[in-house]
A and B are shown apart, each in its own frame.
Chain A
């Protein structure tokens, strides 16, 4: 094996790839070769680092220098300065949001974004080359599988998972070990393990990152699960919209087969297990377990009633154990380090860590993995760096379309399954979208409902028709056409859908409306009764006004207006004709005197 004096790790996750990290890698390789360093420095494309806001990101080891927002033209400088001369390129080094500190000596773990994290599921993401099984093996890869197969009984494996307190990371939070146990107990000639990689929550991308950054972790965990429940075949159901994940997963499966870690007689224990990938066409509801299985079977992806549960009758009518990607990502570590190690982390009923996808009005957008029980405030402020541009925090949405919006007063809520539900939201798959004072909460509810309306499978009447009607009511409220009784109608519909819908997605579909009604009812009322959007967001309810006292008559606004709605003579205060105004905001952007306001 070749020894290199330095490694350049370039993020090859979807985020950094789309901002050009592939070009960076080419450029690094060219430049390194041009400087004759190709025997000394190796460039590695890793999975996602998590700090997507700073992408494309590059780390140079052994120094651990963390470069952010790296452009192709920066590569020459990093190579000629850092790699050739050993001088770190200070001006390309990551800048801390809170302190504006730019310190080339700071290691990854010293950065605010990383130092509060505890990475178990994401342990190898951004660390290894996901397309090279040797790198995974070097990180204790497949050791857990070996341990399970050679030293543990099937019952012991299940018991370990059970004792670890691991719960389903896809959103349901069902105890993983129990699922394994139930499927183990089912008698059948054939059983299946399946992996739910149909990540569909808007803003959530932890499953994608794990598959892109550490695909072997999933393969190893599924093999362990197969051994435990007695299945020789597994299916990974992954969205077709995740091409990088699919590619790396395919490579990883091939490599695992080549190494005898999938296939027949694994570790010479007589255990046979193999995996197949099934591509999903991107229906949100196919994340629901029965719908997912129908989709794998080639049927229309829509849920069916349970019982029978998949543990009894699942894929192809055989007992099937389905776990989410992130759930699996914890399994090998639990087997390797023991249930007690894992259960020592987290809260009473929620053990271990959870990955969240931070997004929205937050400085450090990206993936974070924190110990269960970490307060929302810590995640949003200490890790996420708070809202950008000094805007005031208004709410945080967790749990995707099934979750809810929590206000500032609940920021000290420790994040775990039960506390989030008690607070009026839910864990979901781990989307965490921050909203600031400019976000209209009625419009936010409408956004999520719009998603649900698009994604409803159409099988059951309450979800098919009810969510559409709720969306129509929200549409008219934000358009300033809300009527007295609309809130009550929303509540009646929400309650009915929640109580009667066929599947979990339908049951939780009204949550964004219910939680915003609970915490931000005044915003709804302002829209309906005062025809006013308190966040000055809803266009139909906005009026742009020029303050004559502040207007200098510079005419910039009038020139910017696409609708000729602004009139006035030079050096005299201008006036907006509200009838002509398109409410585009161009005037406000152009005004240098702060004379234009939205009301």
Chain B
């Protein structure tokens, strides 16, 4: 897992690969538990106590309690799992996407209505690299 993966050059993107899957297992399995209504109730009633059932790292627990959606991805969370926490809060995919991309709900919604985030200039972390390169 030491080699550079070509997808790591994509900006603002956390590919759920083996490394993230290993780190994220307890976090994602905690999220998975929220598919059950009784667990959602327990989590909403007392989040720290409920989360003790799962072997989360300190960073993972804090990211959940702070609702640090980007932070969750950085400690191995996958969006299809972490979105279940957002559903408990009454948020949608679009709400969370706006927060992760650092703009208000209104600005994000307007960007989508206007056709979404353009790939131009968003293909490579090194913006100087030509967009039309493939790799």
Partners in one complex: no
Which A residues contact B (CB, under 8 angstroms)? none
> Which B residues have a C-beta under 8 Å from some C-beta of A?
none
